[in-house]
Structure 1
């Protein structure tokens, strides 16, 4: 088999390519965290992780807004956040009534990764900080009048995560 100048990509279908990048994306997230943790400790790694996850959701939200032809507003946020959760293989149900978008997550792949890595005892510390940062950024990317709220959390031992994005009083949808 001569691979010089050839295209291995021709042997991979779209699902293979997606799986490759999905695994790489998830692996690099945990890998860099563990390397920073080894060198500087857990608290510093979590602080840097928080900095990263205050930028990544901007990239994700803006990309999905563009791809999906969405603009600002709660309904656009609900559609784009639904796409994000679907792409990342969360299991969830969602509703949007024009004033509040609700998501009930029953399976979180990030939680499962932490459990498989033997780091379940750190999951609540990571999830409570990083997920909250993500939600704040997602809300801000779709307008000043949208605020996130989160009650239940899988990482805390609840059966589901309950996430809401609400319009502040007086905000337009």
Structure 2
């Protein structure tokens, strides 16, 4: 069987479901390695490796999405909004984007990672430091003129109505 023959036989609906499955599998792998390091060496060591992984992965993900979507070098607010909607997270988490002038507020309204950790009786993932690396790096690849600021993210929660919130500002 050639590489994509099985995929080519699927309907659009089946492909969309498969993308959701792949997204959940990607997140499961991310959580499995993280929890392995966390259990053996502690949260600080797991966070160190998580930060290193996301520093590299977010750039790869953003570059590939930017190319796939045909975004220009300076994609601006609309380009970032579009790219965010095609991330793995967009298939498995609930989020909203609010644009106002030269800013985009990205709010994760439901997070599978935090929900799973809560369900398992684990402490919440202190994702703010890694989120700062992830979201700022992603936005800069989409358009180098972006800065990113954490509005609310565990352990620094300032908005209980969402899992996290990030403010992207486009500097022209």
With the shorter chain as reference, the TM-score category is 0.7 to 0.9
Select which of 92, 97, 106 maps to 1:94. Answer: 97
Aligned length: 160
Unaligned 5+ segments in structure 1 are 1-6
Indicate conservation of the 8 Å contact 1:74/1:165, yes or no: no
Check if 1:78 corresponds to 2:78.
Answer: no
- SS of match in other structure, 1:106: strand
In the TM superposition, what is the alpha-carbon distance from 1:100 to its structure 2 partner? 0.9
- SS of match in other structure, 2:142: coil
In the TM superposition, what is the alpha-carbon distance from 1:147 to its structure 2 partner? 0.5
Indicate conservation of the 8 Å contact 1:74/1:98, yes or no: no
Distance 2:166 2:152 in 1: 8
In the TM superposition, what is the alpha-carbon distance from 1:34 to its structure 2 partner? 1.8
- Two-structure CA RMSD over aligned residues (Å): 2.7
Radius of gyration: which is bigger? 1
Q: Deviations over 1:80-117 (max 9, x none)?
A: 11332763332222233451112233212222122233
- SS of match in other structure, 2:50: helix
1:1-173 residue pairs with structure 2 within 5 A?
13-71=14-72, 72-75=74-77, 76-84=79-87, 87-119=90-122, 121-123=123-125, 125=126, 127-153=127-153, 158-160=160-162, 161-167=164-170, 171-172=171-172
Distance 1:144 1:28 in 2: 30
What TM-score do you get using the length of structure 1 for normalisation? 0.76
Distance 1:98 1:70 in 2: 20
